[in-house]
Structure 1
Amino acid sequence: MIVLSETDIAGLLPMTAAIDIVADAMITVSNGGATLPLRTIMPVGGANKLGMMPGAMTDPATYGIKLVCLFPDNPASGYSSHQGAMVLFEPEHGAAVAMMNAGHLTAVRTAAASGVATRALARADASVLAIVGTGEQAVHHLDAMAAVRPIREVRVVGRRAERAEAFVAEARARHPALAFSAGTDVRAAVDGAHIVCTVTSSETPVLFGDWIGPGTHVNAVGASVPVKTEIDTALAAKSALFADYRPSLFAQAGEVIEAIKTGLFGEDHVRAEIGEVLAGTAPGRTGDDEITLYRSLGIAAQDLACADFCYRQAQARGIGVEAPLD
């Protein structure tokens, strides 16, 4: 078995590659080529949680499980909020062939999924990006959005002005050609933005339907359990709504669950899974004025496809530590 560290994963999985890998995985999912039990969440003290995400895929032919800890207070002490391990198995004999850091893998594949959706749904000329949140996902979402659209202006919003300003200072060094601004007013930041990404840990909405204008594409990413809702039901209702995986959406997206429960809309309001759009079996954006919403929950197929890629690259390049289990 090969063991791959966070540093190994960072070197093996660049954002541009991850976007293409995740795109292929989403097509496989929507074509029925994956087995994806819903994420299981277990409390492990206070606000901390352990998530278990098993899955299997036919292309690439692999299966495995991600064990990821969500510790919301970690950033204050210099750690990522997501810690954990991905274990990959080979399908012929069921042997564990790789274990790898799940924190960086999760961060990259999540942003890559938003990149896939943005490439498929946002207007081709989308150049003004608003990012709500200043954590690790904000960093990777900036990279993903810049990889798929001609971004020229980035508006960063955080709960604390100093954190948003610090984020912008670091981002300017990595993206010197872009114009940045920092603030705490979400409504002002999204006014006129072409792409909006919400990447917060908020349990209540930070983005409202009344604030989003025609033609905007929204990636709602941060809320992955029903008790958290970054966006309100009005935004979900007024948008063309796209899912990564319908079963996850209907079980874990709090604002969608609430909208269906109250009769605001039904399950048929979901236009498509993003894999269906990519495969050409369902429409994506139908006009320049349409608001498109990609409601990201994150699914094991994204982790599996990226993990399999890292494993094969590590084998080819002699990266990682061999840890025989027999």
Structure 2
Amino acid sequence: MNTKAPLVLSLSEVTNTLKNLNLIPLIEEGFVSLSSNKAIVPPVGELLFENPRGESHIKYGYIINQPYYVIKVASGFYENPKIGLKSSQGLMLAFSQKTGVLKAILLDEGHLTDIRTAIASMITLKYLAPKHNIRIGIIGTGIQAELQLKYLHTVSNCKEIFVWGRTAEKVKAFKDIFKDSNYNITIAPSIPELAHNCNIIITTTPSTTPLLFSSQIKKGTHITAIGSDTSEKMELDTDIIKKADIVISDSIEQSKTRGEIYKARQNNCLSKDTLRELGNIIKDPTLGRQNDNQITVADLTGVAVQDIMIATAIINNYKI
């Protein structure tokens, strides 16, 4: 019996299909499946490179009673912009859960990983952001920092943005991207200045040393940390985790080997009483922020259920 050739989608076909999708409820469904023990997600496969600096992650798994299992390869090579390439690259493969037949190849060049990461950040803001006196600080100026502002309107009306980057040139370029937007973007001269002015902070860098420290965090602040997705990376001083009233992981199991929570575990700065999984907060929002005085931290290392949900949505909604 002849097997039908898999659907092969280019980056442009993927991005055109994305325009028609409401991703937040889809990714939320994936997190709920994970926290409800309805998803099979093995440990992350990982390759780390030194010269030039880069990394490649293999994330894979399936959600029970869904049509596909998905294997995603995503890389970040941080010198790429110097040679005219974006740092993120990758693809997704979708196979039938019933037969193992390859059904689709999404040649997204890492774009879907970037998007699903940004959506996960928006979900944390939806459930954990303080409701009053909101000013949002973004640490970093790369692809993920840009996507934070592009998707912010889906969960917040906040227009007051502070941004910090390592060089004046990168911060100015970031601000120029949004020159025609409704955002009022202030360039923060330092991270302490950003933290002083903002009660929502999003960190988006591949740093391996802390950028944000406990002494800089005021009451009522929410932090979403999305840059630290390996065992080596670290954007937050571990005392921030110790100081937080609520700590959220996209996957508690995965946080045992990577991310800010992993570093906090190593330094005995994590209390089990404060740690919760994002899918459980989506199911029961009372597990999240209860007032605007609490300090909350969301540590996102990126989970295969996000890839499964976004890949499935692209396949199901692609119009030939």
> Does TM-score exceed 0.5, indicating one fold?
yes
| Per-residue Cα deviation, 1:87-122 (whole angstroms, up to 9, x for no partner) | 011222211111111511001000000101110111
Partner of 1:114: 121
Normalised to the residue count of structure 1, the TM-score between the two structures is 0.90
How many Å apart are 1:67 and its aligned residue? 1.1
The 1-side partners of 2:65 and 2:124 are apart by 20
Partner of 1:192: 197
User: Quick check: 1:293 aligned with 2:297?
Assistant: yes
How many Å apart are 1:271 and its aligned residue? 2.8
| Per-residue Cα deviation, 1:240-276 (whole angstroms, up to 9, x for no partner) | 10010101112112x433432333334x144311110
Partner of 1:261: 266
Partner of 2:255: 249
| Per-residue Cα deviation, 1:13-52 (whole angstroms, up to 9, x for no partner) | 2497222211111111101111111211123562222211
Matched AA of 1:295: D
Partner of 2:183: 178
How many Å apart are 1:77 and its aligned residue? 2.5
How many Å apart are 1:159 and its aligned residue? 0.2
Q: For residues 142 and 16 of structure 1, do their structure 2 counterparts lie closer, same or farther at Cα, with a shift above 3 Å needed?
A: farther
Contact 1:15 1:144 in 2 (8 A): no
Match of 1:271 among 271, 275, 286: 275
Q: For residues 238 and 44 of structure 1, do their structure 2 counterparts lie closer, same or farther at Cα, with a shift above 3 Å needed?
A: closer
SS of the residue 1:162 aligns to: helix
The 1-side partners of 2:56 and 2:317 are apart by 28
The 2-side partners of 1:123 and 1:193 are apart by 11
Aligned 1:1-326 pairs, distance under 5 A: 1-14=6-19, 17-44=22-49, 46=51, 47-58=53-64, 60-100=66-106, 101-125=108-132, 127-173=134-180, 176-239=181-244, 240-253=246-259, 255-266=260-271, 268-280=272-284, 283-314=287-318, 317-318=319-320
How many Å apart are 1:135 and its aligned residue? 0.4
Q: For residues 102 and 304 of structure 1, do their structure 2 counterparts lie closer, same or farther at Cα, with a shift above 3 Å needed?
A: farther
The 1-side partners of 2:109 and 2:44 are apart by 15
Moved more, 55-64 or 195-204: 55-64
Please tell me the root mean square deviation across aligned C-alpha atoms, in Å.
Answer: 1.8
Normalised to the residue count of structure 2, the TM-score between the two structures is 0.92
Contact 1:67 1:84 in 2 (8 A): yes
| Per-residue Cα deviation, 1:101-151 (whole angstroms, up to 9, x for no partner) | 151100100000010111011123463111100000011111232320111
The 2-side partners of 1:15 and 1:146 are apart by 16
The 1-side partners of 2:113 and 2:173 are apart by 23
Matched AA of 1:113: A
Task: Give the total of aligned pairs.
Answer: 312
Structure 1: gaps (5+ residues): 319-326
Q: For residues 185 and 89 of structure 1, do their structure 2 counterparts lie closer, same or farther at Cα, with a shift above 3 Å needed?
A: same
Contact 2:221 2:295 in 1 (8 A): yes
Q: For residues 196 and 35 of structure 1, do their structure 2 counterparts lie closer, same or farther at Cα, with a shift above 3 Å needed?
A: same
The 1-side partners of 2:193 and 2:299 are apart by 22
The 1-side partners of 2:11 and 2:215 are apart by 40
Determine what percentage of the aligned residue pairs are the same residue.
27
